[in-house]
Amino acid sequence: MITGGAQGIGAEVSRQLVDHGARVAILDCDIASASRLVAELGGAAAAFEADVRSIESMTTACAAAAELFGGLDAVVANAGIAGPAATVAAVDPNAWRTVIDVNLVGVFHTVVAALPHLRQRRGYLLAVASIGAVISGPTVSGYMASKSGVESLVRSLRIELSGSGVDVGIGYFGLVDTGLARDMLTRSGLGAVMAALPGAVGRPIPVEAAAAQIVAGMARRSRRVYAPRWVPILVDLRVLFAVGDRLLAVWPPMRRAVRAAERTEAHP
């Protein structure tokens, strides 16, 4: 079962899983797009309308998917949004909260709704986070806070589920060539952060490559899934990168990005 499965990384993971012989429940609030993907994939996939912000919606969708397929062996909590590009001082608080509701609370709701089914099958859960969990992201603080929250949620969950037979992984991804990544690169301070990194590090990777790592991680029931290859270094050296916040704060391109974000979003 994949949340946010109708497009982007979720859709490509669905395609690759079906190619590997899996049956896939595609959950998305955009049921029209999910249904088109199911039509492409055939009888091995089914679409379910679900809003990760609602525990009732997720509970109903998980139960329906488990009933249709006879259970849930693996769940990918993938649904996410970028949110507005604005400083903390200028952002619309409701828009900021929406990012947390989708990206963090949505993962929590997915876990709560899916856990009874995963316990029955001694299954596997993968929560999709981001390098946003470990680097700074000026003008997209909601997104970065949500991804840090997902990381902490997974760490807590692993301890709670120890001995249950359910394994829990987290996906750390750099820039992946999706609409979400392109949007964040062009209109937020994250673009300036990535531009400061060397060579290919700041360039998006194909969505197929990221999806392949997720599928391989599911097969191994991995604790950590990465893409591209340099991401583990970034995750493991996060303390050193935190020191770089002071340098980023005075870097001219970053200051320009912050000023632009304060102009484009007016605090209500």
The DSSP code for 136 is -
Contact indicator for 124, 147 with CB cutoff of 8 Å: no
Catalytic residue among 124, 143, 172, 226: 143
CA separation for the pair 113, 46 (Å, rounded): 18
Q: Is 143 a known active-site residue? A: yes
What is the phi/psi pair of residue 206, to 5°? -60, 145
253 CB burial (10 A radius; 0-12, 13-18, 19+):
middle
The C-alpha angle with vertex 83 and arms to 17 and 154, in degrees rounded to 5, equals 50
Residue 181 makes CB contacts below 8 A (sequence gap 6+) with 175, 204
Task: Kindly list the catalytic residues.
Answer: 143
